[in-house]
Structure 1
Amino acid sequence: MNMIMFSCLMMYCSGIVSLCMARKHIMLSLLSLEFIILSLFCIFMVFLSDMNSESYMLLVFLTFSVCEGVAGLSVLVMMIRSHGNDHLVSINLSTC
């Protein structure tokens, strides 16, 4: 059980590091966020299986994570249509 928790925490830490390093493209940031959500799901699953409780919260968590992914992809599509790429440098906040 400790090895599983350690691997999930390492997944979370590597997701945070990749999110901090992927600052040029929105797509890489979204992939890093999804990896963090996946590692949090694994941690949540280990805790719930350890406590022998109901797993309905896992379905709620998955629902919210899917909604977060859809919102991120829709923002990405809108940005690509308006600016032509997903570079964060091409966004000018004074034109919004």
Structure 2
Amino acid sequence: MMMYVLMSISMFVSGVTVFSSKRKHLLVTLLSLEFIVLSLFFIMFMYLNFYDYETYFSMMFLVFSVCEGALGLAILVSMIRTHGNDFFQSFSILQC
């Protein structure tokens, strides 16, 4: 059990590290956010299994994280169609 806790904490820390260090492209930030969400889902799933709770809340969390990922991909597609790439330095806020 302790191995899973350490693995999930290291997954969360590595996701936050990538999110804070790689801010040039929107795709990389979206992937790191999804990695953080998956690590939080794993932590919550292990916690609920440890205390023998039902996993209904974890399924609701997973549904909302999928919706968040679809919204992020829609923003990415919209940004690529209007600006040509996902590089943050290539567009101006006045152009939007």
Q: Same fold (TM over 0.5)?
A: yes
CA RMSD of aligned residues (A): 0.7
Runs of 4+ more than 2 Å apart: none
Cα shift at 1:21: 1.4
Q: Return the structure number with greater helix share.
A: 1
Q: Which residue of 2 aligns with 1:82?
A: 82
Query: Is the counterpart of residue 70 in structure 1 residue 70 in structure 2?
Result: yes
Structure 1 unaligned residues grouped into runs of 5+: none
Report the 3-state secondary structure (helix = DSSP H, G, I; strand = E; otherwise coil) of the residue aligned with 1:86: coil
Structure 2 unaligned residues grouped into runs of 5+: none
Q: Which residue of 1 aligns with 2:95?
A: 95
Cα shift at 1:3: 1.3
Give a deviation string over 1:69-88, Cα, whole Å, max 9, x none: 00000000000000000000
Give a deviation string over 1:21-60, Cα, whole Å, max 9, x none: 1111000001000100110010001100011011101110
Sequence identity percentage: 46
Cα shift at 1:94: 2.1
Report the 3-state secondary structure (helix = DSSP H, G, I; strand = E; otherwise coil) of the residue aligned with 1:9: helix
Give, as a single letter, the amino acid of the residue that structure 1 aligns with 2:86. D
The TM-score normalised by the length of structure 1 is: 0.97
